[in-house]
Structures are given as C-alpha cells and as structure tokens.
Chains A and B, each alone.
Chain A
Amino acid sequence: MSEPMTLETLSALDTLLSEDELLVRDSVRRFVRERYLGRAGELFEQEQFPTELIPELADLGLLGAGLSGYGCAGMSAVQYGLILQELEYGDSGLRSFVSVQGSLAMYSIWAYGSEEQKQKYLPEMAKGNLIGCFGLTEPDSGSDPGSMQTRARKDGGEYVISGTKMWITNSPLAHLAVVWAKVDDGGPESIAGFIVERDASGFSTPTIHGKMSLRASVTGEIVLDEVRVPEERRLPAVRGLKGPLGCLSQARFGIAFGALGAAKSCFDSTVSYARTRVQFGVPIASKQLIQQQFAEMGSEIVKGDILSLHYGRMKDRQGGKLRPEQVSLCKRNNVRVALEVARTCRSILGGNGILLEYPAIRHMLNLESVYTYEGTHEVHTLVLGKAFTGLNAF
C-alpha cells in the first residue's frame, strides 16, 4: 500500500494562494485542530457551544474578520473564505457562530449603520465582548421574508417593535440583536433594521431545544413584545429587503467555502478508515466500489474549491461585490456536494458511521441545516432558474 495523495496535493490549490493567505489558513487550521476538534463530538452530544472559546476566537481576529476598520482584521474575501472552511472542518456550529457574528450582525452595522453605531458596537463585537445575532426569519416567514409580520411603529423619538423571530443562531447568547421589521403599516419596501440591546424591556430569546443538527451552536427565538427602541438604534443607510438580503449574500459566500471544510473532514477521516478496515481479508479501500466513491467525492470537493476560489478572487477584484446569482450558484453547489460527501462517508464507515467518534454523522446532520439556511437549496435553484431563463418561478 503506497501513501495516499491528499486532496490538497492533488488539487494543488495552494499554488494559487499567496503567502499571507496560506499563513492565515494555517493559523486557523492549527487553532481548530488543537482547540476544537478533540471536543467536537462531545460538544455536539451535549448540545453545547463552547463560550469559553469566544475570547480566543476574538484574539485570533476571527470575529468580523472580513470587515475593515473598527478593530476588525480586514481579511480579503478569499482569506475570509479560507478561515470559514477551517472552522467548518471543526464543526458547522463553530463556523455558524463566527458567520453570524461577522457576516450578519457586524456586517449589518458596518454596511448600514451610522458612524456612532459603528464606533459603539463594532470594536466591542470584534473583541467578543458583545455577541450579536440577526433576526430576519419568522415562524411563518422563511423563504419569503417580504411576508414578515414583525412591525415597528414610530412613537415620537422611538420605535415600538413587536413580533417573533425564529431559528436565530446565537440569540440566547447575544448581547444585541439586529432585527428587521416593517415600519408602521408599510409593505416590504418599509423594512428597516434596528439594533435591539439585551436589556430592552419586552425582549426575550427562548432557546430552541431538541435540534438534531448544529447541536454545538445555540439557536433560539427573538420575542419582541412592545420593545421600545430609540431612533438612533435604527440602521439609517438602508430601507427595504435589500438590507437583510445584502447581509445574507455576505454570509452565503462564506458558507460556500465553509461547507467544503465539513466535506474535507469527512473525506480525510473516511479515507483513513477505509485503508485500515479489513473485510474479506483486504482493506475495504482496495474495493472498486469504495474507490469509485472516493473518486467521485474527491472530484466534487476539488471542483467546489475551485468554484469558491474563483468567485472569491472575483469578489476581491470587484470591491467585495458579486452578483447574488453567483453567490447562489456557489452556495447551492458546495453545500449539496458537502452533504452528499457526508452521507457517502457515513455509509462507507458502516456501523461506525453512526457514532460521534467519527465526524461523518455529525457533519451530515449539521449540513442538513446548512442546506436549508441562508437561502434553501430550493430557493437558490429558483434564483438560478430565473437567471438562466429570465422567467420567475418563485
């Protein structure tokens, strides 16, 4: 048996990365392997997010890493993507925590906030002293965010916000929530973002228990019962759905890189299992059925890597902008690839595949959420269908 070639050796993608991109990736890689991987199964099993790691994540510069100024690390799109991929090699829950803090909560304030809001919140959020969450989805408003029920009524110098947000990553931990609401009796064009602080009266964040996915990440609701928010907490620079959708586009881009981290974790561990698991007197990796599955999975992972790197380079050249359809293509493809890889690895691992001792089933269950959140697979299909045909099938 000769030494196997790693995905990285075969794809040779490192040759397309600069020295600082490699150093950034390797630093986060080392962090995840030394500080998280050993505990990943246990944290998942115990439904626990390791809050004690937050200061370390902040010291490394991982919170709001893709933003510039205000104490943020100012990483490029490619560097940010590589970071998220390393985090998701650990667990999609760990990556979700960082995505929500940086790409959703901090990005909302960074892109749409006033200078005072940015000065007040962003440096503390980058240091991990303030944790944020992002309230868009509602119990009856998922893929169709324009149908949201949450309302903000103007009352003198304040807004009074009522409504319920659902499936909110980090909400039970959060010190502040960026909440999107329709203003007065307006339609989707009236949607505005508000920064709601934890101590606001009528604000609560019940935890959602019983998840079989993203168990190492805390998910909750945001309940807003006549919460009074002063005018200066409204995000002034955006109105309408393009506000929250702009944030989601950032987060989705990161997920396209990230999901492949989960796939690589499954792939690496399953290759090593198949080389040592002996049945019928030989390692199962010597069987053509198994080899074909590795050939398919490896090809898809490498193609996904090239896709996200291509769009990442483009995003960097274009001042951080990509067409939403390009982000949809990338997120949809790479998350589907990751989910299929995780399922295939689970089956190659046989009975061992259902144990948390091996990462496959944990990633597989996590990726069910990743497949659905940040624009469901189906919605991204419709986005692409509309792009390619010019006809709206929503």
Chain B
Amino acid sequence: MKFSVEIMPRPEALDPQGRAVQGSLQRLGFTVEDCRVGKVVIVDVKEENKTKALEQVHQMAEKILANPLIETFEVKAL
C-alpha cells in the first residue's frame, strides 16, 4: 500500500528555503504573500491491512521522517 508523508517546517519556524523561493517568485512578478517549502516521502508498505499500514507509516514519520521539534507531517493514502 502506498502512502505519502508530507513534511513541512512548523508554521512558527523560520523557513529560509521558503523565503528564498518567495524572493525569486516575487522577482518573476508573482505576488506571493507567503511561501513554505517542505518535502514529500512516498512509501510502499508491505501490509494489506490499511489501519496497520497507516500505523506503520505514522511510526516512520515520528521516528525518522519528520523531526517534531521543527516539522509537522501529514500522511495520505495514495
């Protein structure tokens, strides 16, 4: 079963990458109020039970994929 884990810098955390991209977008003439850059990890889990698979992906996110001090994450079934 495939899932995506979307990882974003916490809303209150400074996101230098987002700020740099925002600057470039503005130079291209786009009016951008805010810009945040995160990452997406797609995992294919060998587990047929969706609840169990979801549980595993959450554990992955908590253990290593995201750092709760600086990031938030969202798991979606694909």
Decide if A and B are genuine partners: no
Which chain A residues have a beta carbon within 8 Å of chain B's beta carbons? none
